[in-house]
Amino acid sequence: MLSGWEALPESLGTYSADIDKLFWDITWLMTFSFVVSTFVMIYLFGAFTRKEGVKSLYVTGESGKQLMLIYAPLALFVMFDMYIDVSTAAVWKTVKTELPKGDVKVHAIAQQWAWTFVHEGDIAVVNELHVPAGKVVHVELESSDVVHSFSIPIFRLKQDVIPGRIITAWFQSKDFAAVKAGKKNHLTRYEAGKGQGTVLAPPADEEGTASFDLQCTEMCGVGHGIMSARIILHSQESYDAWVASNRAEQSEVSGDDAPAEEAPMEEGAAEEAAPAM
């Protein structure tokens, strides 16, 4: 491991470790296959290079030894493929097929080039997703223009957002203590790798929160590179306070904007105001 660099960001979701395991399983199986195939190819180039005075061989591939050299690697690669398929199906079922009961629901609207998150109580925030740590969160995704992709790297979550459809993605972070420890590790990695361009500068946090990157990972136009946002994970107390504060602000705005009620007219005045028939 290089200073300030790791292959993957922190794993802070309930299913992110399963995706990481699948990633590394595929990486090591393909690395093994590549290395072995390369060495065999180099050996064959050397062993069967044309030599002066040596007659070439006509290989039919029908002898037992030759068949073994064909079918043994084939069987090995088929087993690799079956293992990857079974592992992928299990992870896919967890992430995409089964939708656990949600504790929190958020509506996310993607547009060129920003995210709007509508939280409980119709609290709408641009480019900030606020959720409590440790809870199952359902995110209802829709696009108002082109195809986007909703991605939270620390959860290994990626879901395309398609115009004309509402697609529900879900995630659950680890508890708040584990989230804060992950953020501390992220800060340590940043300080160690500062100046190397290996780790992005982490955003600052308020008390009771931990914030991480949220991205669009689908090319969605010339402003795609600036379509970044943050997910802010709260302790339960911090989240409740945030919701209450924003609801209070909404109530104040609604009260200021509400039209003044007309004073009721007295009965006599109403009769005078009525037109004569």
At 201, is the pLDDT very low, low, confident or very high (cuts 50, 70, 90)? low
At 200, is the pLDDT very low, low, confident or very high (cuts 50, 70, 90)? low
- Please state the pTM of the whole predicted model: 0.75
At 277, is the pLDDT very low, low, confident or very high (cuts 50, 70, 90)? very low
- Domain assignments of the chain as residue spans, ordered by start: 16-97, 104-254
The answer, yes or no, to whether residue 81 has pLDDT greater than 90, is yes
Alpha carbons 252 and 247: distance in angstroms, whole number = 9
The residue that leads in pLDDT, 122 or 61, is 122
The answer, yes or no, to whether residue 57 has pLDDT greater than 70, is yes
Q: Report the mean per-residue pLDDT for the chain.
A: 83
Alpha carbons 156 and 17: distance in angstroms, whole number = 9
The CA-atom distances, in angstroms, between 259 and each of 160, 250, 262 are 42, 16, 9
- Express each pLDDT in 133-149 by its tens digit: 999 999 999 999 899 99
Place domain 104-254 in its CATH homologous superfamily. Cupredoxins -  blue copper proteins (2.60.40.420)
Alpha carbons 162 and 168: distance in angstroms, whole number = 11
